[in-house]
């Protein structure tokens, strides 16, 4: 059985909810990623921040990214998957919630992220096609 832990990108890093969006953008650049899980004071997942969120939800609205926090951008219920979950469960979670990145948790700690690139490297063409159809067909790029 292929698990979430098998296909995830290790070394994911939190951005604390109190950090500003300009710091989040710097961290994204340093880590060469387009999304960061947002943690509360107890290092629990409270959202995911994407580069697109910073541009569309802050900069394009005329707000100063040095004055808006990651926590202020967190919306909705954060989705995650246990590292031992089957890859089918990963696909189901991402498809049913129309998301392209999924934090991986083990023993209540962030251990990785699963992205589109991770899926492309580890799944069959049929699995990828099904996933892409469900995520992109209804919402467009996110």
Report how far residue 36's alpha carbon sits from residue 24's, in angstroms, rounded to the nearest whole number: 8
What would the two tokens of residue 32 be? 């060469």
Q: What is the CATH number of the domain that holds 76?
A: 3.10.580.10
Is-contact 127 67, C-beta < 8 A?
Answer: no
Contact 34, 24 (CB under 8 A): no
Domain housing 120: 4-139
User: What pLDDT, on the 0 to 100 scale, is given for residue 138?
Assistant: 54
Please tell me what DSSP assigns to residue 77.
Answer: -
Task: Quickly state the pLDDT bin for 79 (edges 50, 70, 90).
Answer: very high
Beta strands 45-50 and 81-82, pairing class? unpaired
Q: How confident is the model at residue 83 (pLDDT cuts 50, 70, 90)?
A: very high
What domain count does the chain have? 1
């Amino acid at each position: 059985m292929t698990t979430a832990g098998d296909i995830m990108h290790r070394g994911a890093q939190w951005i604390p909810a109190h950090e500003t969006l300009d710091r989040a953008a710097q961290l994204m650049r340093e880590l060469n990623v387009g999304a960061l899980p947002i943690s509360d004071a107890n290092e629990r997942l409270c959202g995911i921040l994407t580069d697109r969120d910073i541009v569309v939800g802050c900069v394009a609205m005329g707000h100063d990214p040095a004055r808006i926090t990651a926590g202020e951008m967190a919306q909705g219920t954060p989705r995650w998957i246990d590292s031992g979950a089957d890859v089918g469960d990963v696909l189901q979670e991402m498809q049913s919630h129309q998301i392209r990145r999924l934090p991986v948790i083990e023993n209540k700690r962030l251990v990785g992220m699963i992205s589109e690139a991770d899926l492309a490297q580890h799944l069959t063409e049929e699995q990828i096609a099904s996933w892409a159809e469900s995520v992109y067909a209804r919402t467009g790029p996110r």
